[in-house]
Amino acid sequence: MLMADTGSEPGAGHTPVMLDRIAELLAPALAAPGAVLVDGTLGLGGHAAALLDAHPRMRLVGVDRDTAALERSRARLAPYADRVEFAHAEYDDVPEVLDGLGRTEVQAVLLDLGVSSPQLDESERGFAYSHEAPLDMRMDRTQRRTAADVVNTYSVAELTRVLRDYGEERFAGRIAQAVARRRAAEPIDSTRVLAELVRDAIPAATRRTGGNPAKRTFQALRIEVNAELDILSRALPAAVERLAVEGRIAVLSYHSLEDRITKRALGALATDTTPAGLPVPLPEHSPQLRLLTRGAESPTDQENEANPRAASARLRAAERIRRP
């Protein structure tokens, strides 16, 4: 069993989600000398450190959009510095990152989606509705658009769409109207103000169940600010394209929208597309991927007890069996 780091280096004590299962799924692809793993969402480097330790001949390309995360992971992965290359980029830019490194293909790709623990825990980042902070939510703080920009400049119709589609918020229209009334008096630039506004916009009976009523709104704004679903939709086929035959990809999702995109993207490439009515399958239409998980796998009860943030995780993985 791979163990999470517990030392004094940056990120120590952070428990990577479903670490043992991810290590098991990726191990066959990482066993060969010189195997390359792309961690497209490096974060604190927890998964990466464990895999580098388990595979002494493996090389890592660590990608993250968050410059603070890259600084921390660079310090955490210092013992493996001669086997690691870092890149500040979105994970749909992996092909360009690999081109810049002179690599045409890799043996494994890992995507651990969603917001990272430091982004949640550092109140000034504005991701958490439980802290008073500027309404920011940028994973990449070099970009300009913030959650405050979305809340204060989107039309009621646009804001309703974001809350409905990305937060699956059934009171999206009521919340958008409440936002419009409040911002007409003064800009909304605080997480506390927005959380209170959402709570007041939702019927009292609904507020009594289902946790904090602002959760879905904050999720929707975070997805919009960071273009998370658009990036994921582009990233999955791009990552598979760079996988060597027998290479593997593992994707951790944390809400149904991410998991749905992952399921469709991997499933499409794992399906024979021979036109109906032909007597035999056509080789050029045979599947490019073999699914390694039956549906989406969830953390064990023991892991959920030890790491409550793992509870919503869903893992899918696939192996490359053919190039187009």
Domains and CATH numbers, the chain: 19-118+228-320 (3.40.50.150), 123-226 (1.10.150.170)
Longest dimension (CA), the chain: 69
The mean pLDDT value for 80-105 works out to: 96
The pLDDT assigned to 107 comes to: 98
The mean pLDDT value for 80-108 works out to: 96
Strands 314-320 and 289-291: antiparallel
275 versus 147: which is more confidently predicted?
Answer: 147
The pLDDT assigned to 324 comes to: 79
Residue 2 has pLDDT above 70, yes or no: no
Three-state SS at 152: helix
The pLDDT assigned to 237 comes to: 96
Burial grade of 302 (CB within 10 A; 0-12, 13-18, 19 or more): exposed
The pLDDT assigned to 119 comes to: 60
The mean pLDDT value for 257-273 works out to: 94
How many CB atoms lie under 10 A from the CB of residue 157? 9
Query: Which residues, listed in sequence order, are joined to residue 37 by a DSSP beta bridge?
Result: 60, 108
Lowest mean pLDDT, pick from 10-24, 109-123, 307-321: 109-123
Residue 204 has pLDDT above 70, yes or no: yes
Residue 177 has pLDDT above 80, yes or no: yes
Residue 120 has pLDDT above 50, yes or no: yes
State percent of the chain over pLDDT 70. Answer: 91
Binding-site residues for S-adenosyl-L-methionine, in ranges, read 45-47, 64, 91, 112, 119
The Cα 240–Cα 201 span in angstroms is 43
With a CB cutoff of 8 Å and minimum separation 6, the contacts of 80 are 49, 52, 53, 60
Nearest to 37 by CA among 17, 16, 58, 53: 58
Of the pLDDT bands very low, low, confident and very high (cuts 50, 70, 90), residue 11 is very low
Residue 9 has pLDDT above 50, yes or no: no
Residue 3 has pLDDT above 50, yes or no: no
The pLDDT assigned to 262 comes to: 98
The mean pLDDT value for 73-83 works out to: 96
The pLDDT assigned to 282 comes to: 79
The mean pLDDT value for 160-164 works out to: 98
The Cα 229–Cα 262 span in angstroms is 10
pTM for this entry: 0.89
pLDDT tens for each residue of 230-247: 999 999 999 999 999 999
Distance of CA 100 to the CA centre of its chain: 23
The pLDDT assigned to 12 comes to: 47
Both tokens of 277, joined, read 């009515």
Of the pLDDT bands very low, low, confident and very high (cuts 50, 70, 90), residue 4 is very low
The pLDDT assigned to 8 comes to: 38
The pLDDT assigned to 145 comes to: 94
Binding-site residues, in ranges, read 45-47, 64, 91, 112, 119
Both tokens of 146, joined, read 């913030």
